[in-house]
Amino acid sequence: MDTYLITLLSDQQPRRMRVIENILTNRHTVTTLFWGLRYGILNWLGSDRQLVRADFDGQLRQMQDDGLLQLDNQFILLTSQGKAVQAQFLSQHYQPRFTSDYLNYQVNAAWPRLMFASQVISEFSYENAKYAPISFEDHELRYVKRWFAANKSAAIIQDFKDELTGFLGTLSETEATFMTELLVGHDSPGLSIDQLTGKLKLPSIDGEIMANDLIVGLMQYADQQTTLLKQLFADLHLESPMSHSGYVTYQLFVANHSIAQIEQQRFLKLSTVREHLLEAAIFDGPQFPYQRLLTAEQLADFDAQYAGNIDDWQVQNVSGDKNLDFFNFRLFQIMRSTSHE
Amino acid sequence: MNEQQLHEVLQQQFGFDDFRPGQQPVIEAILNHQDTLAILPTGAGKTLLYQLPARILPGSVIVISPLLSLMQDQVNRLRQLGEKQVTMLSSIQTRAQQQATMNHLAHFKYIFASPETITKTEVMAQLKQIKIAMIVIDEAHCVSQWGPEFRPQYLLLKTLLADVSHDVTLMLTATATQRVQDDILIKLGLRVRQVTVVRQSVNRPNIFLSVQTSTSQTDKQTQLLQLVKTLGGAGIVYFSSRKQTSQVAQWLQEQTGLNVAAYHAGMSQTTRYKIQHQFMNNQLQVICATSAFGMGIDKEDIRFVIHYHVPANLENYVQEIGRAGRDGQQSLAVILYSPGDEYIQVNLSDLTIPSDAVVNDFMSGQVKAEQLGDVGDLLDFYRSQHLQAEQIIQIFQQQRQKNRHNLDQLLQYVNTTECRRAVILNYFGEQLLNHNESCCDGFDNPLNIEQLGLKKIEKTSIKPNVQSWQSRLNQLYFVKS
Ligand SMILES: [Zn+2]
């Protein structure tokens, strides 16, 4: 069975099936995020929020029946046959290439935004004011209308077109066609993703993945090379991939507040502040100020204690405070996981 | 305002020469501040019934609708007609978005909301601050437990009408038996005698009614293929399951070479928009859909509506086939029936009505509303109205019986060897007409597509290939040279 799920599996590293599921459905627990980091699949966080457990389990069972994977106590490991099928899959399907920015944008909102903007510009170019907007949301309508009003001039049509052309020119013909056929305009509602994969003879499971990936590519490009599109997507930048509360904690921490101060200021439990900091370390990688939490001495001790595969490390109690021991241990694991990259 | 002035408004502001049947008496009653129940078939131009008075009466218009998709269709239609001050209070808004809308309520001419949302204490409080010209209750039959789509949340509207001052109330429904009609007014706390009722016949003489029986699914598919191949013009095929809309759409497209697409409520908003507009632009000939499709469709020349599965009741059926032939030209409605199909409907309705065990688990706190989806919302609602488990179980029991009864009525239509139209008219308490050969396939008058003039005129169908992305951009954004 063809499924992108196979690309999230490994023949070297046994992976927890529920972690993979939680990553896809956007469950923001530190455990999920940590293992997502270890498996190198963090960028897929929240990429399939509608995923139903029965379908997820069904796909795994099918792959197991086909001899592609072994399931042992909820850990998945690809068999050598599975590894071969994975390689084949990658060669036959769209390979996302803008994944590094998936967590930096509100990706779900981007296509509806672009489609509506395209419609506004297109109708304007045909001097038509009466049409059914593709967007229903007051917020979307207001945002795009304000964007349009701020830039409205005879030149906007050509400029918008030029900016799109700039990005489309960096894509393959198929990819550029895929994007332009999705767009909405005057007397031309465009095609749906399913219709397009049919017309372009692409595997149907590639459609959503490709649409998502290319729109992230466009937003990246827009940030660097455009004016209109940059403004159009401006509010879709996320301040951080972290949970909002975690982000607030981390901002205070970076501004040199101590854990104890943050506990007091935010009326949070110590364990919650620690979870927030672990989340921050996971997303911020090498930039995280580890030295404020782990002394040189502790680091030397840890290096002596822990060696080999990071996945296999087990927490060792040293201080008598279990929560603190685990926090330091996990922090060290994250530090070593991100510094190797 | 006299009749001539009314026609002037119609022409100057809306560009129509004449009212459609039923529109004028409704609009006149509304302008005279008479509460009105309009029972008009689909396609009778529902939007105008409140849009025209809204242009004349000072104040905002509240439109209540049971489903988000219905609201979105209406909102979209108004915006398309050039109305700018339209908003929607809905569950898909975040708290902040909802608050922002609430703060500007008086700026909006049209405010759409579900019964649950509009009757929230804080929303009602805001409504009392603004001038309200009209309250429009769409799908008003939902308030009646004798109707096929009873929604207990509609019962809350009685409070809205009583507590929020407004000039006039307009209730809209496509079909209602006499019993439902009376019940609507009672449940909304209105005096039967003080309400103007405008009723148009459910009869659509230009739609030929047919039922084709098959013994297996394979047979049924063959029948469907045969029909779609033979019939000209645009058509809709209705299914009970989302999955089958996609499967059959793809299969039909491969088999016929026509452009066929699926449509159901599980698709993204943008996809639904595209499919709907492709159909209206004649880029698609056939839509395979669930009952989610059709509300916002403004297409006059739909030639056929085929039901692959039996619908749940005659009300739904009449509404769904009513989308065919709005231009008055000959059209066709077919049910493809294999004995036993009705159990699909029975199962579906059993799925939407919770079992006694679910009710008990919910009321005792063992199961939470979130775990139950739509059913959870409903149970939550009943609990908020202080109903006990036994009472709720009894309501559901009645609902099951009512659904069975409604389905039986539909099966009478399916199984009759006499006039099918007579079954429909009789059900809605209307005068019977004489059957003739362009009426239905009863009395041994089998469907003859050619004789009805519905045969496809062979044209070389042009299948545009996908154009280059550069020319697509040129087409989308027209730059004068
Ligand atoms: Zn007849």
| Sheet strand arrangement including B260-263 | B207-213, B331-337, B302-307, B234-238, B286-289, B260-263
Assigned token pair, B349: 């309705």
At B13-35, the pLDDT tens digits run 888 889 988 999 999 999 999 99
Q: Does B88 sit within 8 Å of A138, measured CB to CB?
A: yes
Measure B271 CA to nearest chain A CA, in Å: 5
Task: Indicate the pTM of the whole model.
Answer: 0.86
A97 in a structural domain: no
Same fold, B3-199 and B203-462: yes
The shortest CB-CB distance from B80 to any of A132, A177, A190 is to A132
- Domain co-membership, A84 together with A22: yes
Residues in chain B with CB shorter than 8 Å from the CB of A161 are 473, 477, 479
Residue with the bigger pLDDT between A226 and B80: it is A226
**Does the CB of A258 have a partner CB in chain B at under 8 Å?**
no
**Checking DSSP bridges between strand B168-173 and strand B132-137, what pairing results, if any?**
parallel
Residue B161 has pLDDT above 70, yes or no: yes
Residues with CB under 5 A from ligand 1 (ion): B 419, 421, 435, 439-440, 442
A99 in a structural domain: no
Residue with the bigger pLDDT between B429 and B351: it is B429
Give the pLDDT confidence score for residue B455 in this predicted structure.
86
A98 in a structural domain: no
Tell me if A32 sits within 8 A of A19, measured CB to CB. Answer: yes
Q: What are phi and psi of B172, to 5 degrees?
A: -120, 135
Tell me if B164 sits within 8 A of B156, measured CB to CB. Answer: no
Contacts of range B394-399, beta carbons closer than 8 Å, 24 or more positions apart = B395/B152, B396/B353, B396/B354, B396/B356, B396/B359, B398/B145, B399/B145, B399/B150, B399/B353
- Domain co-membership, A211 together with A142: yes
Other C-beta atoms lying within 10 Å of the C-beta of residue B170: 25
Residue with the bigger pLDDT between B99 and A107: it is A107
At B106-149, the pLDDT tens digits run 889 999 999 988 998 889 999 999 999 999 999 999 999 887 78
- Domain co-membership, A218 together with A129: yes
Instruction: Please report which confidence band the pLDDT of residue B44 belongs to, taking 50, 70 and 90 as the band edges.
Output: low
A54 in a structural domain: yes
Q: How many domains does chain A have?
A: 3
Give the pLDDT confidence score for residue A341 in this predicted structure.
41
Instruction: Please report which confidence band the pLDDT of residue B463 belongs to, taking 50, 70 and 90 as the band edges.
Output: low
- Domain co-membership, A180 together with A288: no
Beta bridge partners of B173: B39
Residue B419 has pLDDT above 80, yes or no: yes
**Does the CB of A168 have a partner CB in chain B at under 8 Å?**
yes
At B174-223, the pLDDT tens digits run 888 888 999 999 999 998 889 999 999 999 999 999 999 999 989 999 99
Residues in chain B with CB shorter than 8 Å from the CB of A193 are 271
A218 in a structural domain: yes
Question: Cα(B56)–Cα(B1) distance, rounded to whole angstroms?
Answer: 10
> CA of B92: how far to CAs of A114, B72, B113, B378, in Å?
20, 12, 11, 18
Other C-beta atoms lying within 10 Å of the C-beta of residue A241: 21
Nearest to A135 by CA among B81, B262, B265, B273: B273
Question: Cα(A144)–Cα(A126) distance, rounded to whole angstroms?
Answer: 18
Give the pLDDT confidence score for residue B59 in this predicted structure.
95
Q: Kindly give the interhelix angle for A156-168 and A107-125, rounded to the nearest 10 degrees.
A: 140
CA nearest B273 in A: which residue?
A134
Percent of chain B with pLDDT over 70: 97
Architecture of domain B3-199 in this structure: 3-Layer(aba) Sandwich (3.40)
Q: What are phi and psi of B337, to 5 degrees?
A: -125, 130
Residue B38 has pLDDT above 90, yes or no: yes
Tell me if B262 sits within 8 A of B245, measured CB to CB. Answer: yes
Q: Which of A202-211, B49-58, B71-80 has the lowest mean pLDDT?
A: B71-80
- Domain co-membership, A136 together with A159: yes
Q: Kindly give the interhelix angle for A244-254 and A259-266, rounded to the nearest 10 degrees.
A: 130
Supply the ipTM of this predicted assembly.
0.89
Q: Does A168 sit within 8 Å of B93, measured CB to CB?
A: no
Architecture of domain B203-462 in this structure: 3-Layer(aba) Sandwich (3.40)
Q: Which of A205-219, B311-325, B415-429, B460-474 has the lowest mean pLDDT?
A: B460-474
**Range B241-248 average pLDDT:** 93
A134 in a structural domain: yes
Q: Is B470 left (phi over 0), alpha (psi -120 to 50) or beta?
A: alpha
- Domain co-membership, A226 together with A291: no
Mutate to test the interface with B, among A55, A136, A137 (most CBs of B within 10 A): A136
Question: Cα(A130)–Cα(A132) distance, rounded to whole angstroms?
Answer: 7
Q: Give the residues of chain A that fall short of pLDDT 70.
A: 1, 340-341
* Residue whose tokens read 């809905």: B90
Q: Does A158 sit within 8 Å of B274, measured CB to CB?
A: no
The shortest CB-CB distance from B76 to any of A136, A176, A181 is to A136
At A216-255, the pLDDT tens digits run 999 999 999 999 999 999 999 998 999 999 999 999 999 9
Residues in chain A with CB shorter than 8 Å from the CB of B79 are 132-133
- Domain co-membership, A114 together with A206: yes
Tell me if B145 sits within 8 A of B183, measured CB to CB. Answer: yes
Residue B433 has pLDDT above 70, yes or no: yes
Give the pLDDT confidence score for residue A283 in this predicted structure.
95
Burial of A199 (0-12, 13-18, 19+ CB in 10 A): middle
Assigned token pair, B431: 């005068």
- Domain co-membership, A22 together with A68: yes
- Domain co-membership, A22 together with A77: yes
Q: Which of A135-139, B408-412, B425-429 has the lowest mean pLDDT?
A: A135-139
Helix (H) or strand (E) holding B302: strand B302-307
Q: Does A122 sit within 8 Å of B476, measured CB to CB?
A: yes
CA of residue B179 to ligand 1 center, whole Å: 25
Residues in chain A with CB shorter than 8 Å from the CB of B277 are 132, 189
Q: In terms of residue numbers, what domain contains A328? A: 245-340
- Domain co-membership, A109 together with A82: no
Q: Where are the domains of chain B?
A: 3-199, 203-462
Instruction: Please report which confidence band the pLDDT of residue B256 belongs to, taking 50, 70 and 90 as the band edges.
Output: very high
Give the pLDDT confidence score for residue B370 in this predicted structure.
75
- Domain co-membership, A211 together with A256: no
DSSP for A136-168 reads --HHHHHHHHHHHHHH-STTHHHHHHHHHHHHH
